[in-house]
A and B are shown apart, each in its own frame.
Chain A
Amino acid sequence: MKKATNYIVIIIFQVFIFAALILFLKAESLFFSIGILVVIAAALFFLRREKRLYEVLNTSFTGSSRRISVTSFIILIVLLPFFFLKSGYILHVLTFALIYIIAALGLNFQIGSCGMVNFAQSTFFGIGAYTSALLSTRFDLSFWVCLPLAIIITGVLGLALGWPSLKTKSFYLSLVSIAFCYIAFLLVHNMRWTGGPDGVPGILKPKIFGFSLARAIRIGGIVLPGNLTYYFFALAFVALALIIARRFHNSWMGLSWNALREDEIASKCYGINLTVNKLLAFIFGSIYAGVAGVLYAHFVGFVSPENMTFHVGLLMVSMVILGGMDNNFGVMLGAALLVIIPEKFRAFQDYRLLFYGLIMILMLLFRPQGLIPFKVRKYEWKRVKENE
């Protein structure tokens, strides 16, 4: 009977979170929006005190209830956009969140797993976006050709940033990434063939099997409304990105990434090849950013150098830190929060960056491990299976 109670607890919690999210997004008045945030925070605060409940929820995706948790989560996230059929803007924001989640997951390889803080993730985001933008508008290449090309290009350029990182200590690496970010931004901003400060407009939405994502999709009797199509398109990529990221984390590579973060010398003395591991972190992280960039380009239809500034790079770093370094779910949460909440408080557009800076300072002072901190790896599959 205990199992059934666990399932119910998990499902209720997830529904609560989603309901709160929906109310938050639909809220018209500022007061109400903030009110909901306060309610969520209070609920979470009280939850932490209930040890048993907290335990059940903490292991909802990794313990014996994981199948139910994952299924209910998938159902909820698929249903979510249907609440906003009339509000294209909110769907827009949600899709943005999905896109940035992918970039953040990639950055997590470098920051979270390897301890290398990289401010240039926005550069690879921009490179992916621009690659797709230029190839599709100037050479009429489809999304499905641009995507692998962008992956190759960002992967190779990720090496270009990774290589100096081998020679520099962690701290200096961050500085290298800042310089890299500015150089790339300035070049893209000033060169004519990248469109200069005005960027590249006119990127079309992709087509899958002949169905264009720009319009509603009808298959048989089922209709997927036009403004939802990209949400699900991005969601598919997020799912793939997450699965791969998790498998990386659980692999020997993930372990060795953590080792090199904690102590390079000990790692060397136990046979871990620092060079290969660091370069892999850079290559994969950059590819994730590039994919996110491609998705962005085809979603918004327009890219500009403003997408790859140092500010955006800093924002991405904050997503990882706020959410929780080296924790995929944490990072996704951080990205979602930092995309959705500022958009919701659009009225305070001018104060957005100010709040964002203050939140970062508060987080770093009081909870540097992030909202959902790094979880120790468990090797309990046999025991979990026995309990099922």
Chain B
Amino acid sequence: MARHHLHYSKKPKGGVHLESIFLLQLKNGIMLGCQYSLIAIGFSLFFGVLNVVVFCHGNIASIFLFVSSALLALAIGIGTKLPQLSNIFIVIIIFGTICITGLIGVMIERSIIRPFRKSPGLMTLLITASAGIVIEQVLKNFFPQGSNPQMFPLELGTTQYKLGTFTIFGNEIFIIIVTSLLFLFTFLFIKKTRIGSHIEAISQDFEAAAMLGINVNRGIAITFFLGASLAAVSGFMHGIYYNVFRFDMGGMAGIKGFSASVVGGLGSIFGAIMGGFLMGFVETFAAAYIPGASPYRDVFSFIVVLIFLVFRPSGILGQIVPEKV
């Protein structure tokens, strides 16, 4: 991921305020956590309903970034001529692209995941890993200058708010609020709506749900739409926070998000959120407080995942399902 911490790497003048550095890192951790969690939720949802790991999930966030960038550049171009409409256009484009990304998620499920429903999860892992590469390469080759870093054309809330020595930016507040709302929305959707209960039923027992008359395919499609849309939002966050993105960032984001959902417990949405923030904090604090560790920040994340995979594969909140003999 691009390192957008230019103004954060300088030591504050007038001595070291440990408290302010801590708050700063806490904020950074929260920022990362927001992005990881949104992707992790998708992984957990998909694993919950189909018991599969959709390795190209991170690349879906990239799709959002590239498509919305292109459209936004267009809108802003139009906007210079018709300033009143430009804001509306921008909002429409953002939401539209999120929906398109959601639909792409549904298409991916129908085309390459559905044929393997009865096969071992490994096949889906392999085919979605390949799909991830295809997505990444398509973005690189078919968007103009795709292989170079891209600028996200939208700048949101760059106003600073100061509380003592602690600074927070408008876009950071925006990210935190939107992410929290999305968590709430997802939670309510799954727990309180009828479709949400269908999805839970499918996660518990696919065949039983089908026998109860639940339209499993539709439930799965909705799950994928939801997961992909959340990934798109995560991409949006990345865009307005870092402003720079590359075609290959999706892969890494996917792996991080996936690690987060493993840590939290594949299949558990709350676990995904917890895992996302845990990973965000581990990465941020390790890089900040362990001297010389900054280039190795990713190693810490992977080591955490490794430990969980070996010693507690069900994650923090997941359940161990014993094999029936």
Contact = CB atoms under 8 A, between A and B. Distances in A.
- In the complex, A touching B, CB below 8 Å? yes
B127 A360 contact: yes
Interface stretch (B12-20, B61-69, B233-241, B305-313): B305-313
B295 A360 contact: no
A236 interface: no
A164 B309 contact: yes
A357 B309 CA distance: 27
- In this complex, the member of B121, B133, B255 whose beta carbon has the largest number of chain A beta carbons within 10 angstroms is B133
A361 B255 contact: no
- In this complex, the member of A350, A351, A358, A364 whose beta carbon has the largest number of chain B beta carbons within 10 angstroms is A364
Interface string B128-168: 01111110111011000001000000000000000000000
B123 A353 contact: no
B306 A179 contact: yes
Given A314-B129, A365-B127, A179 B302 contact: yes
Contact of B123 (A186, A187, A368): A368
B133 A179 contact: no
Given A186-B298, A321-B126, A365-B115, A164 B306 contact: yes
Given A314-B129, A354-B138, A361 B298 contact: no
A357 B137 contact: yes
B126 A170 contact: no
B259 interface: yes
Contacts of B126: 117, 317, 321, 360, 364
Say whether chain A's binding surface is mostly helix, strand, loop, or mixed: helix
Given A178-B255, A317-B126, A357 B131 contact: yes
A183 B112 contact: no
A327 B304 CA distance: 36
B133 A357 contact: yes
Interface in A325-381: 350-351, 353-354, 356-358, 360-361, 364-365, 368
A365 B295 CA distance: 39
Contact of A354 (B134, B299, B302): B134
Interface in A161-182: 164, 167-172, 174-176, 178-180, 182
B296 interface: yes
Interface string B26-53: 0000000000000000000000000001
A358 B325 contact: no
Interface string B281-312: 00000000000000110110011011001110
A182 B255 CA distance: 10
B130 A190 contact: no
Contacts of B262: 175
Nearest to A358: B134
A265 interface: yes
A90 B115 CA distance: 39
Contact of A171 (B125, B129, B311): B125
Nearest to B310: A164
For chain A, the bracket of interface size reads 35 or more
Contacts of A357: 130-134, 137
Given A186-B296, A361-B127, A364-B127, A172 B313 contact: yes
Contact of A175 (B133, B138, B309): B309
B213 interface: no
Given A183-B299, A360-B130, A168 B313 contact: yes
A187 B306 CA distance: 15
Contacts of B181: none
B122 interface: yes
Contacts of A175: 53, 262, 305, 309
B118 to A, nearest CB: 13
Contacts of A187: 296, 299
Contacts of A311: 133
Given A176-B309, A361-B112, A354 B122 contact: no
A361 B112 CA distance: 8
Interface string A51-78: 0000000000000000000000000000
A190 B298 CA distance: 11
A117 B122 contact: yes
Given A183-B302, A353-B133, A168 B309 contact: yes
15 contacts: A164-B309, A168-B313, A171-B125, A172-B309, A172-B313, A175-B53, A176-B309, A182-B255, A183-B306, A190-B295, A357-B130, A357-B133, A358-B130, A364-B123, A364-B126
Given A182-B298, A186-B302, 16 more contacts: A117-B126, A170-B122, A172-B309, A176-B310, A178-B255, A179-B259, A179-B303, A180-B306, A183-B299, A183-B302, A314-B129, A357-B134, A361-B112, A361-B127, A361-B134, A365-B115
Interface of A: 117, 164, 167-172, 174-176, 178-180, 182-183, 186-187, 190, 265, 311, 314, 317-318, 321, 350-351, 353-354, 356-358, 360-361, 364-365, 368
